[in-house]
Structure 1
Amino acid sequence: MSIFKNKAFVFLLGSSALAFSIFFIRLILISWYILEETDSTFLIGLLTGLPAIFNILLAPYGGKLADRFSRKHIFFIFRTLSIVIFISMALSVMYNFNVILIILITSIFMGAFIGLEGPSARLLIADILGKEKIVEGNAAQEFFNQFLNATLPAIAGFLLTVLSISLMFWSLPIIALLSSICAFITLLIFKENKKFKKHQSSDNSSIRDAIIYSYKNIEIRCLLICSVTIIGWGITQPLIPEYCRDKLGLDGSGYAIISSVYFVGAMIASISLPYLKKYVLNSKSIVLFIILYLFSVILLFISPNYYLAGLMILLSGVFHAYWWAGVLLSLQIISDERFKGRVISFFFATLGLVGIGFILGGFFGTKFSSIVVASASGFILFATHFALYIFSSSFRNLNSYRQ
């Protein structure tokens, strides 16, 4: 049966894709607003990166919630609460009331909600479709995430030419409301497995137990170390709006369109993933794709025009999406069911390092050129993956496709 015939999955897909798009639309709006108001790449990095930082702190607890309680209820509750924070942000911008402070506070809550809800949202894919459809389900999820992220920022870029940025901030609570509605329909349609619910309620293992399990499992340990390198992606993001404006001569709408091309690349990867999973779900491919991603990013920052820059950011989206799929799906496949929620939460916690990357990128962007910062961060990513591959035979032999 096609996964799209499962109505619960379709609405889960819609809710998650809409919520995921909020992160990047918010990134574009805040980046351009702060750049125009303060001309500070450091402040861009700080305010756009805060949600990811607080995700680090709370994601393990989100994993514990996912292992102990109803995932569909957790999913719905935090999707609904997010509406409030985006209304607050939009009001502060509209009335120019303590905008920086309100963005800072709402960013903290946004990160907390992502951390607490993220593991449940991701694991609901397997709950609804079954483990045998986990690759197809995740590929579909990533495709729709990237489709919205490719189209909505471009639409936002166009609207920025005809609407004020204060009005554009209202797109965030509107999208959050639509996401919450889809989550509510998922809640109504999907009937959780009673046997699994009983297992959840009887599991008394702690976050510490899950940490010990993840550390002792060398494959999981190495995959989580790989996921830490997402910080490199974060470092480059505050550099892009300034590069687009100062080097490519683009305005806010041009920056939004260039940014959306990354997600077109990720869409291409998501479409092909079910057909290439044999070649993606292994350590060799994980290392290869991160290297290809790094080359495309470095070439992006030396591109002399926006055509070549667009091509490079497109390729970076393709390679990074394959890398992401290789790490995340391998963790979902090889981890024990009892600890699966917390293992996935550790992965999403490492994504919080994106926030630190934003701050570092913003800071170093004021001290060095974009190409220097991008190259330095790229070297760290390469060195980490290369060291794991050379020194860990377990990681070197990892092939989750066969499991």
Structure 2
Amino acid sequence: MEAAESSGKLGGMFRALHYRNYRLFFVGQGISLVGTWMQQIALSWLVYRLTDSVFLLGAVTFSSQIPSFILGPFAGVLADKFNRHKVLLVTQTLSMVQASTLAALVLTNSIEIWHIMTLSAILGIINGFDVSTRQAFVVQMVDRREDLSNAIALNSSLFNMARLVGPTIAGLLIAAVGEGMCILINAVSYIAVLASLLLMRLKPFERVPQQHKVWASLRHGFQYAFGFAPIRSLIMIVALLSLFGMPFTVLLPVFARDILHGGANTLGYLMGASGLGALSGALFLAQRKSVVGLGKVLLFTMTLFGLALIAFSFSEVLLLSLVLMLFTGFGMIVTMASCNTLLQTLVDDDKRGRVMSLYSTAFMGMAPIGSMLAGSVAEMIGVGYTLAGCGFLCALSIIPFAVQRPRLRKMVQPIYERLGIVPEIATGLHTASNLTAPPEER
């Protein structure tokens, strides 16, 4: 009996993999994401090795992510108007070309900081269209809406499994053969995701007649998202976490080399520990069958993330730093993934691309601003105090949501009743299965 229950739980945790298209996507993305994380670590280490500048670390991150802030909303309109499958084929191909160019420059010792800034900006433009389209494309690979939250949680698990494996491999490879090989491996890894997209069997694309032009569609998307308090609150949580919390990844090379007195392998271990914590958080969400209680979980994990960052900022012991990275990874991914699922659950299908583009803009668009600010402040007061301030602001920023939670829950209840989502929602238990419920539910 216990064995059957355990088997049922495990099957439920991976139920989205029953869909062929999603399985293909899962495998292809898994291989590609390991390469992506390898390149990210290699690039951070390369920039700090070449420049010894915390400010330039932030500047490179800014150049790679600010295009998402500018282009994200337009990308959402594109995702709602055009064939998402074909858009992803184009963006993934262009990403492979970008990685190949960067690898060639590094391997031939021709790389200069302006090359890195330019190519990072190009990748940012590509990602501006890729991320929101990919988020909206998930619903096309999963036939039953009740399995959508599980698919999103598994995406997060995949992302963080890669974040565990990629940086660890990158740290060892950089120490052995340099940064160029990591970037080359990333370029080759795009073959896997392109193959998975080409092997999918999708329903013929039917263009939905659009009554509005791009600007009008964009305006209606903003009005829809920010006119409804639950969706607005979720997007604000993501934006604040990205603004105040994500800069910690930019500062990690400084902690690895100058505070913990290690090398590229130490940076890989820190990122790997964060990835392990995030993977645990994603699996925690994947095994949940109900949206009940996720609101309270989100309050807890946002606070946990902020406090763990504060503690990490003062640590000078590698083992303690690794443990604290586990908590930061767990807190960050549960918060982000929960917001993602809640949004995907609340949004109308015809506006999904635009709303998810706002999610992507909040996630990837605010991070570069935070990175630039953190890099500038760290040059003046040091990385320790800078990161402690970031953690304090993260913990503080969840307070407005905590205060509004009862009102938001009432606003979301009719939507869940219409969708036939668990009756417990009506009792006020709200939430969104790990990533499937809106903030107001909480």
Calculate the TM-score normalised by the size of structure 1.
0.92
Give the distance between the partners of 1:101 and 1:371, measured in 2 at CA: 28
Give the distance between the partners of 1:280 and 1:113, measured in 2 at CA: 37
| Greater mean alpha carbon deviation, residues 356-365 or residues 306-315 | 356-365
Give the distance between the partners of 2:135 and 2:280, measured in 1 at CA: 21
Residue in 2 aligned with 1:217? Answer: 228
Contact 1:277 1:401 in 2 (8 A): no
Contact 2:35 2:166 in 1 (8 A): no
Give the distance between the partners of 1:368 and 1:331, measured in 2 at CA: 38
Residue in 2 aligned with 1:356? Answer: 369
- Measured against aligned partners, the alpha-carbon deviations of 1:112-161 in whole angstroms (never above 9, x if no partner) come to 11111212212222211132111111111111111112112111111122
Distance 1:279 1:6, change over 3 A: closer
Distance 1:385 1:235, change over 3 A: same
Q: 1:151 aligns with which of 165, 183, 186?
A: 165
Q: 2:271 aligns with which of 231, 235, 259?
A: 259
Deviation at 1:18, TM superposition (A): 4.0
Matched, 1:70 2:83: yes
Matched, 1:335 2:366: no
Residue in 1 aligned with 2:422? Answer: none
SS at match of 2:175: coil
After superposition, where does 1:254-403 map in structure 2 within 5 Å? Answer: 254-276=266-288, 278=290, 282-351=294-363, 352-391=365-404, 393-395=406-408, 399-401=430-432
Matched, 1:236 2:252: no
SS at match of 2:177: coil
Give the distance between the partners of 1:42 and 1:181, measured in 2 at CA: 38
Residue in 1 aligned with 2:20? Answer: 7
Equivalent residue letter for 2:432: Y
Give the distance between the partners of 1:202 and 1:137, measured in 2 at CA: 29
| Greater mean alpha carbon deviation, residues 44-53 or residues 218-227 | 44-53
Give the distance between the partners of 1:277 and 1:256, measured in 2 at CA: 34
The aligned length equals 397
Equivalent residue letter for 2:141: I
Contact 1:334 1:400 in 2 (8 A): no
Equivalent residue letter for 1:325: A
Deviation at 1:98, TM superposition (A): 4.9
Give the distance between the partners of 2:38 and 2:324, measured in 1 at CA: 21
- Measured against aligned partners, the alpha-carbon deviations of 1:258-293 in whole angstroms (never above 9, x if no partner) come to 211111111111112133364677433222210011
Matched, 1:183 2:197: yes
Give the distance between the partners of 2:308 and 2:377, measured in 1 at CA: 20
Distance 1:379 1:279, change over 3 A: farther
Distance 1:112 1:277, change over 3 A: farther
Matched, 1:132 2:139: no
Structure 1 unmatched runs, 5+: none
Give the distance between the partners of 1:281 and 1:49, measured in 2 at CA: 36
| Greater mean alpha carbon deviation, residues 362-371 or residues 66-75 | 362-371
Identity %: 20
| Greater mean alpha carbon deviation, residues 252-261 or residues 8-17 | 8-17
SS at match of 2:380: coil
Deviation at 1:314, TM superposition (A): 0.8
Residue in 2 aligned with 1:174? Answer: 188
Q: 1:206 aligns with which of 217, 223, 229?
A: 217
SS at match of 2:89: helix
Distance 1:18 1:61, change over 3 A: farther
Contact 1:219 1:394 in 2 (8 A): no
| Greater mean alpha carbon deviation, residues 142-151 or residues 88-97 | 88-97
Contact 1:281 1:330 in 2 (8 A): no
Give the distance between the partners of 1:184 and 1:58, measured in 2 at CA: 26
Residue in 2 aligned with 1:47? Answer: 60
SS at match of 2:288: helix
After superposition, where does 1:10-49 map in structure 2 within 5 Å? Answer: 10-49=23-62
Equivalent residue letter for 1:104: M
Deviation at 1:76, TM superposition (A): 1.2
Give the distance between the partners of 1:10 and 1:222, measured in 2 at CA: 32
Contact 2:76 2:357 in 1 (8 A): yes
Give the distance between the partners of 1:92 and 1:251, measured in 2 at CA: 23
Matched, 1:86 2:99: yes
Deviation at 1:91, TM superposition (A): 1.6
Structure 2 unmatched runs, 5+: 1-10, 413-429, 438-442
Give the distance between the partners of 1:278 and 1:340, measured in 2 at CA: 22
- Measured against aligned partners, the alpha-carbon deviations of 1:268-325 in whole angstroms (never above 9, x if no partner) come to 1111213336467743322221001111111112223111111110111111111011
Distance 1:112 1:19, change over 3 A: farther
| Greater mean alpha carbon deviation, residues 322-331 or residues 5-14 | 5-14
Q: 1:120 aligns with which of 116, 120, 133?
A: 133
Contact 1:218 1:394 in 2 (8 A): no
Give the distance between the partners of 1:280 and 1:185, measured in 2 at CA: 37
Calculate the TM-score normalised by the size of structure 2.
0.84
SS at match of 2:262: coil
SS at match of 2:168: helix
